[in-house]
Amino acid sequence: MNALAFVALAGAIGSCQPSTSENTVISKFEWYASESAPKDYPAYLLTSFLLLRDGNTEGLPSDRVVSTGWGELGSIQLIGDPLKAPPEKLDIRWYDLLARTGFGGEIDLDTQNIEDRMRAGLRNEDGGEAHRIEAVLFGMAPGGNLAVWVTGGRVTHLVSMHRLPMIEIPIADMSNDPADTHATFANRYLDLLLPEKAAGANRTPPPEGQWQAYAQRSDYRPLVTGEFTGDLLWMTFLNGETDWFDLSGERDKPSSVEAPGLALPVKADFTWTGPTGRKFVALVEFDEAEVREAFARLSNGTDARPMVIEFEPVESTLKVDVFLRAGKQFYRFEKLKSVISAP
């Protein structure tokens, strides 16, 4: 990163002091900022600065390639006071290595929403005190799409989605090698992360608005069936969220879900105790195209709501059968991957 650009940008965002009364007490919380990007669409994060509610600044770990997975935590930068005011603005620049396009700009964050979540925390699957919001997570996706999540424990919730404009990023801002071009710079990282795409193969951009569509929610609920005592189901969704669902009926809350509806599922894991007392763990990974087809088919075929996604572990095959049901209609998932183990 160009040192002069860093100084200039830090000075610009740091000068934007919030206009608060001298008697106003600004709440502070223990949290850090982190970054995320889809595994198949790595991004090079150049610069990122957060303006906090009290006028201080915080940065994301920059000058690095990000491909953690959508909604998955990236780097942790523990510098300065761990107690910080909630963020108000984000100024960010990143480079899409596959599209060879830069995106960036400044956005206003939903500060009050973030602060409310920091104050309340996230529901704890073990009961008792809520999970502290450990991180505010920023996700960079193709087309300038940017997501903001809060996360604590294994629970991650989406706060907001944004769209940033395309910008020019000089190669000198990313590389100190005078012989580098945008192509050689991008391919150097793609050789390591996505070798099959480095030479230009499979560089078809994702459909327009794909990450905005990921954030959409449907009216359905999960269910695990079988002659056993269930414990806990975890699900990760296309919008990057992760939530738990109680299978035992013994928890005060049925799940960590707070928003109405759920985004489409990506993966799930759950635990239960069999009739002999043996404990089992099941892992399920969905095929995205099949999930979309199943929900579209049943949504158009019946008005019955909520739909139910039903997990049925089969111990004899060590697999999990999964169905989507809506009224009398159902769809059996055939392309998913599943495994059952007894650790």
Secondary structure class of 117 (helix, strand, coil): helix
Secondary structure class of 159 (helix, strand, coil): strand
What stretches in the chain show pLDDT beneath 50?
Answer: 1-21
In this predicted structure, what is the pLDDT of residue 292?
96
189 occurs within a structural domain = no
Per residue in 173-229, pLDDT (tens digit) is: 999 999 999 999 998 998 888 877 665 556 667 878 899 999 999 999 999 998 888
Q: In whole angstroms, give the CA distance from residue 235 to residue 179.
A: 46
Residue entry with tokens 């183990």: 341
25 occurs within a structural domain = yes
104 plus 229 within the same structural domain: no
Domain of 9 in residue numbering reads as: 3-172
157 plus 268 within the same structural domain: no
Q: Which of 172, 194, 227 is the last residue of a domain?
A: 172
* Six token digits for residue 260: 């109405």
Q: Which of 110, 140, 172 is the last residue of a domain?
A: 172
Residue entry with tokens 């793609």: 190
156 plus 247 within the same structural domain: no
Indicate the pTM of the whole model.
0.90
Q: In whole angstroms, give the CA distance from residue 94 to residue 174.
A: 10
249 plus 157 within the same structural domain: no
Report which of 75, 102, 105 is spatially closest to residue 92, judged by C-alpha positions: 105
In this predicted structure, what is the pLDDT of residue 199?
59
49 plus 163 within the same structural domain: yes
168 plus 283 within the same structural domain: no
282 occurs within a structural domain = yes
279 plus 163 within the same structural domain: no
223 plus 276 within the same structural domain: yes
Q: What is the DSSP string of 160-204?
A: EEEE--EE---GGGT-S-TT--HHHHHHHHHHHH-GGGTTSTT-P
In this predicted structure, what is the pLDDT of residue 86?
97
198 occurs within a structural domain = no
Structural domains of the chain, count: 2
Q: Which of 172, 197, 229 is the last residue of a domain?
A: 172
201 occurs within a structural domain = no
239 occurs within a structural domain = yes
26 plus 109 within the same structural domain: yes
277 plus 337 within the same structural domain: yes
Give, as one character, the DSSP assignment of residue 62. -
283 occurs within a structural domain = yes
